[in-house]
Amino acid sequence: MEDKRKARRYLLIGAVTGGIISLSITLLMDTFYADTFQGTWRDAISKDLHSLFSLNVSYDSILVNILFILVLGIMTAFGSFLGIIFSFFLYKFFSFLSNK
């Protein structure tokens, strides 16, 4: 019982850490490379909305902000998933080392 609780705690820590790292890398890339990529994520979303649905929205409209938060949520969820996988491997590795 204690082992399951310990494993769950490590997986939760891995998910939170992976999500935070993924979110911070995504936002930092958006900030630092905006000039290199000729725009931010919000600019890309507004251009995609214009080309796909013929919506003329600016980069600071509410629809673009909602879609930006959705994209950030997807990136954070993917980072959390990778954090769970990484922490699972670490937990199994260290549990094999501690077995006698």
**Phi and psi angles of residue 33, each rounded to the nearest 5 degrees, phi first:** -105, 20
Structure tokens at 47: 């251009």
pLDDT of amino acid 99: 72
Q: How confident is residue 95, by pLDDT bands cut at 50, 70 and 90?
A: confident
- For the chain, the maximum distance between any two Cα atoms, rounded to a whole number of angstroms, is 66
> What is the Cα–Cα distance from 28 to 21, expressed in whole angstroms?
10
Minimum mean pLDDT range among 3-7, 10-14, 64-68: 3-7
In this predicted model, what pLDDT tens digit does every residue of 39-92 receive, in sequence order?
A: 899 999 999 999 999 999 998 899 999 999 999 999 999 999 999 999 999 999
Instruction: Tell whether the model's pLDDT for residue 100 goes beyond 70.
Output: no
- How far is the first Cα of the chain from the last one, in angstroms, to the nearest whole number? 19
> What is the Cα–Cα distance from 90 to 32, expressed in whole angstroms?
32
Q: Which residue has the tokens 């670490």?
A: 90
In this predicted model, what pLDDT tens digit does every residue of 14-31 receive, in sequence order?
A: 999 999 999 999 999 999
pLDDT of amino acid 23: 96
